[in-house]
Amino acid sequence: MTLTFKKLKHSKFIQSRKALGIPITYLILFVSTLLLISVTYVFAIDQLNSQKQPLQTLTAKQDMASLADDVVSVSSQPGDATIFDLRDSGGQLNVEPATNTLTLSVTDNNSVNAVIFNQTVGLVDYNLASFAGANIGFYVRGDGNTISNVSGATPSQLYFAVDANQQPALLLQYRPTVSYVTEGVQNNQSINYIRVYVINLNSSDIIATQGDTPIRISCTGTQLITETFPVTCTPGNLSINSQLGSGNGSISVPISSASKGAVINFEVVVCNVSIERCTI
């Protein structure tokens, strides 16, 4: 009887150990499953974020290009205005009216040598959420020339850059554009007209905002700056130099001359455009 009793106790002990092992096994499987799900979730979120960042950059590029075009479209007519809805692209819109100096000077390397414009013209930048999709140095609108006399060339310069805080950004500024014509001869001098168009944002609001942002773009007026240069020589060409922010550039404009030289009538048309936060 004693031997039988011990065998029964040993048998019950083995059964109890097996019964205890079942919930422990399930617990290990449960914890492992949770760990696998967590790792998969984190990986999936990282993948979604990596896909979201280029999409945000694309949205910012599209919106800033539309903003650039809207500024140009209202710039020629005082009183024109439009409302633009900037979408949330994960970054920050900054309108900086008191920065970005434009200096225009002219010379014929002889008797003409003058500065005809020297003012801040403002700029707009959109700080991007990441470098993903930001092709640094790529121009969305315009090119790297700080002045243009090419027919139909846009005054907009919208491009990817790295800002002062080493963050990716879309920068928007406006370069001067030039047209010229010769209108006959008076007093044996050829009459030359040169006109430079400048879009000036320095009357805008200072804006630093994130998220969806409605803004109002309006032309508040135009100014005309004139200079006349009579020359007795035959200059051939007039060089117009443009320093915009940290960039420099120049173009050469042909000058027509008669027996007593030429008269160069120089006009700078300043289109004042204001970018404001829309409160409506």
Q: List, for residues 18-42, the tens digit of each pLDDT value.
A: 554 556 665 565 555 655 555 454 4
Q: What confidence category does residue 56 fall into, taking pLDDT thresholds of 50, 70 and 90?
A: confident
- pTM for the model: 0.80
CB 202 within 8 A of CB 252: no
For the chain, give the percent of residues with pLDDT over 90: 62
**Averaged over 214-241, what is the pLDDT?**
92
Average pLDDT, integer, range 126-155: 90
Domain boundaries, the chain: 63-277
Q: What is the pLDDT of residue 135?
A: 87
Out of 55-59, 111-115, 130-134, least confident range? 130-134
Residue 94 pLDDT grade (very low, low, confident, very high; cuts 50, 70, 90): very high
Distances (CA, A) of 8 to 12, 17, 20, 101, 269: 6, 14, 18, 98, 108
- For the chain, give the DSSP string: -HHHHHHHHHHHHHHHHHHHHHHHHHHHHHHHHHHHHHHHHHHHHHHHHHHHHHHHHHHHHHHHHHHHHHHHHHHTSTT-EEEEEE---SSEEEEETT--EEEEEEE-SSS-EEEEEEEE--EEEEE-S-STT--TT-EEES-S-SSB-STT--SEEEEEEE-TTS-EEEEEEE--EEEEEEEEEETTEEEEEEEEEEEE-TTSPPEEEESSEEEEEEEEEEEEEEEEEEESS---EEEEEEEETTEEEEEEEE---BTTBEEEEEEEEEEEEEEEE---
